[in-house]
Each structure stands twice: as structure tokens, then as C-alpha cells.
Chains A and B, each alone.
Chain A
Amino acid sequence: MTFLSALHDFSTSRNAVLTSRDGFTAVSRYRSLEDEYRTIRETVGLTDFSHFQKFCFRGEEALYFLDEILPANIANIRYGRVIHTFLADDDGHVLSDVYVANQDDTIWMVCESCVETAVIEQRLATANTKQITYECLTDSYAAFSIDGPQAWAVAREMFGPDVLGMPYLSVELHDENGDGIVLLRTGKTSEFGYLMLVPVTQCRNVYDRLLTLTEKHSGGACGIDVFDILKLDGRFFNINQEGRIVRDPLTLGLQWMIDFQKDAYHGKTAIDARRETGLKRKIIGLKSLEQGTPMARDTRIVSGEETVAEVITAGFSQALDTQMALALFDIRYAYSGLDFIARTATGNVKVQTVSLPPFIPRSLTIKLDEM
């Protein structure tokens, strides 16, 4: 059974192009990827992420339960805070990009996965030896995201001026209109971002209000595909690209999501073993220095005659006005600022490794507490 957003019919009536994978169907895009990219990098985009898995727990035992599953320190999450981490399987391979939010003792776990919902649900159920009660709310809650340098303005109009005080990675419940919206200040594009969990019964009218406000601020609705390039040049971990392909959190550079001092979490043994051995390969960003065939998955990167990396994911970055890629580098060459050649299908292209993110997002120049 493929998951469909509660807004599926509404979206298709607005000429959305759809995509299906991992057991869900969602809006791939409404307009061109270039248009949607510009919307999110310059104003604000509204996206339906209802296919994210959502779980709801209550009470202290739930925190300890999650603490034994996820690699971050969940036990001491403070009220109103959100932790960004991942969920791995027993072999230490990432399954989901996870947010855990503590909204006054109601704990939300929101997952963006490279596997089907059943896999995640199964993992939680198997681990639940103490019979903690929790709910799988993937179907009963929609998830909408607003992203962009003007996202705060839309949030302010939706939720009031106090919302500007929300620190990055915090959560609030907004029930002023009786719609019970769980609001997280998050964002994976390096622009301002807010994720809203909305009960499906309210989701249409909430979406309408959001869309009106988004368009009022010169933005528009977007699909999920544009986030691949936004995460690529915004340098945020993308479970859908490098996550799906590389799988090892250490090679992916996700050490900051892990509390290595913890006694237990899924995949710890394998991850500790790899940490002990040391990394042989590392993900580094690349940009094209000249026009030519774009890099693509598996494009070889060479230094002289030696192959030093393979491209994992690539795309055209409008902010940089050139092709960009993430490549899996031999550790000896895994440094920013070096020149290499990409052997594309039709010829060689000069490329250079870059520090990521390779540009200054507009949102970085806006100070919310001065608004």
C-alpha cells in the first residue's frame, strides 16, 4: 500500500508532477526545478512532506527507550528542544534522518527514510521490550515545511511575533485556532525552515492559509525533488542521495549526531569498530571549473592517472552557477581546494574540491531577533 498525502488529490488538481519510491508517492515538483530552487533560496517555498514517518511517545521511559535506539543523547533533551540525529540498523547503516522533539513531555520522532515505513516501524516494535506505549502517526498527521529567507515572515503571520524567538532546533505547540500544530524550527537547506505537524483533519485549511501567506511573500508551493540540490549546495545530509548510497554514518560525516560515550544504540558495535579502524574514504564537495558534461553518479575523479574518487550525487547549483557534486574520496586526497579532473561520459572536465557550503545563504545575513 503506497502512502499518499491527505493532500494528494488537491496537489494533482494543481498539476503536480508526482514521484514514487520507498513506499510513498509525493509531489516531485510543481514548476521547474530551477524555479523552485530560486523560490527557496530567495523567498519562501511550501512543501508537503507528509510521507515522513511520525511517532509520538509520552513520558520519561519513552526518552530512555529512544536513547537506546538512536545514537544521540536523547535522555537529556530539554523541554522545547529538537535533536537532529539518525537511525541505523544493527549493521550500523543509516535508515533514516531523524528529528526528536520534546514538546512538554510529548516526544515526537520524525523520520525521513531511505527505506519503507514498515522497516522503521518494525525496528521500533522489536526494540520495545518494555512495552512502552507509542503511536505511529504517519497517516494521521500531515507534515508541511516552509523554507527560505522569508520563511520567518510567513511563520510570524501564522503564529504571531513570538515565533521569531524560537531558537534553531526548537519545538512549540500552537493550538490557538484549535488546530493543534506542532511547530519545529528546523530546515535542511541552510535557509530558515519550519516544519509543521498538522492533524489531517485540519491539514487542508492549514495548507491553504500557508499557501496564501507564502504567495503573499512572493513564494510558492514546491515539490520534494528540489531539496536534493538544496541539500547539496546547502551542505545538509541527504538521506535520499548520499545516505542511500554510502550508508556509513562515519564516511558520511555524521559523527556530530553521535554521542560516542553512550553505552547502547542501534548499530553501535559496527560503528565503533569502523571508528576504531579509521576512515579510508570521505565525502568531499566538488564544483566544476568549466562548462562541459555534468558530473553524475559514478563519474570518476582523477588526479593524473590515479582515480581518487567517485561521484555519489551531483546537480547544478544556481547559487554557484556551476555543477556541483559530492564524491567519495580516498582519504589521502580528501581535502578542500584541490584541482582534479572529472572523467564524464563525453570528456574531461576540470573540477575543484570546495569547502561546503560553498556560498553564503541569504538567511545567514538576516538576524531574526532584530525583526
Chain B
Amino acid sequence: MENASLFAKHMSSIDYPIQSGRKNRIRMNASIEKKIATRSAVISRVKRDLIQRLSLSYTEEDLHEDASLIGSGLGLDSLDALEIILGIEQEFKVKIEEGNISVLRSINTIVDYILDNQTITSAPTQTVEGGAR
């Protein structure tokens, strides 16, 4: 049956080999290597922070960087979200303004935000409104 052979072909693609087949690996381009090093360091810190703060029973490798964090995927709730934000702000010295709905969608979006904003030093909030201080 047609479908069976299609199925069989798909079954064999699990160890989908890289087609270059070359034995000797080419050395990675230096600028890509640097970008990867920077990014993977932040990814690792974010994952460790998440796992520890939220007592997740996953390892760093289990967490795909694009997996959804809130709602679907890991299914964290609003309280977890606040805890994550607190952790990111403290750990990476960035400020996430309220109402920013897109930062926490995945580990990748968190890392993107950190890498984009980390150079901005965040001063502690000192509101001087209405005679409050």
C-alpha cells in the first residue's frame, strides 16, 4: 500500500544524517562561534534560574528554547510569570516594563530581551509623585 511505503520511509528518517558526510569537521566561523557562546551562556543561566525558582522537574536539555512558557507548553501561571520576571531583573540587571506581554513567551524571547537590553543600566525605581516621598 502506498501509505505503508511512505510510512516506512518516514520511519527511517529518525537518524536523519547530515548530508555532507565529511569526516573532518570544518572549524566554526569565528564570529558565529562568538555569538553562539554569548547566547548559550545566557540561555544556560536563564534555564538554571527557571528550574531552580519554579522547582521544575526538567533538566536544561529538556527545555527547548522555543517551548511556550505561559498558558500552553510548560503551562506556567501568572504568579510564576512574576517570579520569572523578578529573577530576570535581578539576575541580569534589566528592567521589564509592565504590560510587556511578549518577553515571557519562551526562553528564546527572554534571552533575546536580555541580549537587547543588558547594556542599559537599570536604576532602582524612585517615584517622586504626589508628595509620596
A and B touch in the complex (CB under 8 A): yes
Which residues of A come within 8 Å of B, CB atoms?
21-23, 84, 93, 114-116, 168-169, 235, 244-248, 253, 255-256, 260-261, 275, 278-279, 281-282, 284-285, 300, 303-308, 310, 328, 330, 332-333, 335-339, 355-357, 360, 364-365
Given known pairs A336-B39, A336-B108, A356-B106, the reply for A253 and B64 (CB within 8 Å) is yes
B120 CB within 8 Å of chain A: no
Check if B25 sits within 8 Å of A306, measured CB to CB: yes
**Which of A244, A246, A247, A355 has the most C-beta atoms of chain B within 10 angstroms of its own C-beta?**
A355
Contact with A along B40-73 (1 / 0, CB 8 A): 1001000000000000011001111111100111
Check if A255 sits within 8 Å of B16, measured CB to CB: no
Q: How many A-B residue pairs have CB under 8 A?
A: 117
Nearest CB of chain A from residue B38's CB, rounded to whole Å: 10
Check if A279 sits within 8 Å of B11, measured CB to CB: no
- Which of A235, A245, A355, A357 lies in contact with B13, CB distance below 8 A? A245
Closest to B71 in A: A168
Measured between alpha carbons, how far is A339 from B32 in the docked complex, in Å? Answer: 8
Measured between alpha carbons, how far is A332 from B39 in the docked complex, in Å? Answer: 12
Check if A247 sits within 8 Å of B13, measured CB to CB: yes
Check if A115 sits within 8 Å of B32, measured CB to CB: no
Given known pairs A169-B72, A306-B20, A310-B18, the reply for A245 and B10 (CB within 8 Å) is yes
Check if B72 sits within 8 Å of A246, measured CB to CB: no
CB-CB under 8 A from A114, the residues of chain B are 10
Closest to B43 in A: A335
Measured between alpha carbons, how far is A339 from B33 in the docked complex, in Å? Answer: 12
CB-CB under 8 A from B72, the residues of chain A are 84, 168-169
Check if A115 sits within 8 Å of B7, measured CB to CB: yes
Measured between alpha carbons, how far is A328 from B16 in the docked complex, in Å? Answer: 9
Check if B109 sits within 8 Å of A355, measured CB to CB: yes
B23 CB within 8 Å of chain A: no
- Which of B18, B20, B66 lies in contact with A355, CB distance below 8 A? B66
CB-CB under 8 A from A235, the residues of chain B are 66, 68
Measured between alpha carbons, how far is A315 from B51 in the docked complex, in Å? Answer: 34
Closest to B13 in A: A245
CB-CB under 8 A from B66, the residues of chain A are 235, 253, 284-285, 336, 355-356
Given known pairs A169-B72, A330-B18, the reply for A279 and B13 (CB within 8 Å) is no
B90 CB within 8 Å of chain A: no
